Structure 1
């Protein structure tokens, strides 16, 4: 496994990325799954979704390209404010998950559709406490519903996908509670600012290609 400092950061920075050979089950193509059978009533006004599925750089990049998504923020969910920083979270002892907060217009894209992208292409929901080359509970697959309606949609969709056996292994995605805390500025828009970064090239660009191939009608121009 090789490691390197992220571009533009000093030697004392804590932002270290890793590159490794693909883990078994790493998908570079979208998993074909059906739309959610259960949808909540369309809420009024902008809504937020908080999803965790490995390194937040790739999650952010995928959801920023979804029509109806207004913004995506990288951050940490599920732990306390006192340790919501990259150095502490990387210790794998804070209870946080690397996550993204998605602000979206439900008149243009539903919460259930965001979950379909999440389960199909944004990450592998069958990997416990890891994604790609990254290992530890901060890289877990977890959904943080922002209200009871989101919790119902998420729970029913996991049950639907599990019953349909669309994956080679069981879905390990957890539904959790906890606040979201924005990550450091150098993590935000990392894909856009560093498109040639080796980690981005190896792990995140394939996700972007898979998303556009599987969901062309949902992709921004």
Structure 2
């Protein structure tokens, strides 16, 4: 398991150093380099049509789910963001097995949102801008393996069409300077992760991995999407 993950994800590192950097981040000073840099992107030219529905869901994979969950917990219009697994079978949706990289699962986040307040396309813009780097193949920052792949799990044909069109739009615009490797998969099931993974960023803002890799994402969300950013995160109720 440790072979596919950054050692910075584990608690035997220098927590005092992490705390100092976290304090700087919380004060508005980001480190010189983070695992994934934010990119200013155009809004999707194609988006889902207006709906009267109060709730819809989307599932995104983009590296360690701690940071992806943390980003969407701070997005206005999102009512729930749950860390979990998608892409594999229910029987292998367990952290230790998924970490081996051979289950077909990706660490993912199920985002429940109010489409009257935020659209699927706008969620995609956040996902591609600040939640992860879509040009990294089967990895994100310090983490490697197919379980960290960049994947959009489409719940229906409309989500597939919007996501496919946006990937093509961004690729044509050449906004990254490198090819986008994000894949599209049909959502066949989402399995919530273990309780200790939920709200991890919120509960552990001075954890070294969070400090270096994920707090900058929250700062970038606030800077690039001030109208979408909400200071108080939505939390997963953990039993």
Same fold (TM > 0.5):
yes
CA distance in 1, matches of 2:190, 2:157: 17
Distance 1:129 1:25, change over 3 A: farther
Q: 1:191 aligns with which of 201, 206, 212?
A: 201
Question: Partner residue of 2:109?
Answer: 100
Retained in 1: the 8 A contact 2:35–2:213?
Answer: no
Q: 1:75-102, CA deviations, whole angstroms, 9 ceiling, x for partnerless residues?
A: 0000000100000001101000000000
CA distance in 2, matches of 1:4, 1:200: 8
Indicate yes or no: 2:49 matched with 1:41.
yes
Indicate yes or no: 2:184 matched with 1:165.
no
CA distance in 1, matches of 2:185, 2:200: 26
Question: Partner residue of 2:122?
Answer: 113
Gaps of 5+ in 2: 1-5, 13-30, 232-239
Tell me the SS of whatever aligns to 1:102: strand
CA distance in 2, matches of 1:2, 1:70: 32
What pairs with 1:70-109 in structure 2 (closer than 5 Å)?
Answer: 70-109=79-118
Question: Partner residue of 2:221?
Answer: 211
RMSD: 1.8
Distance 1:195 1:75, change over 3 A: same
Q: State the shift of 1:48 in Å.
A: 0.3
Q: State the shift of 1:26 in Å.
A: 4.1
TM-score where L is the length of structure 2: 0.82
Question: Partner residue of 2:22?
Answer: none
Q: 1:35-88, CA deviations, whole angstroms, 9 ceiling, x for partnerless residues?
A: 000112123120000000000000000001000000100000000001000000
CA distance in 2, matches of 1:127, 1:46: 31
Retained in 1: the 8 A contact 2:36–2:140?
Answer: no
Question: Partner residue of 2:150?
Answer: 141
Question: Partner residue of 2:27?
Answer: none
Q: State the shift of 1:2 in Å.
A: 3.5
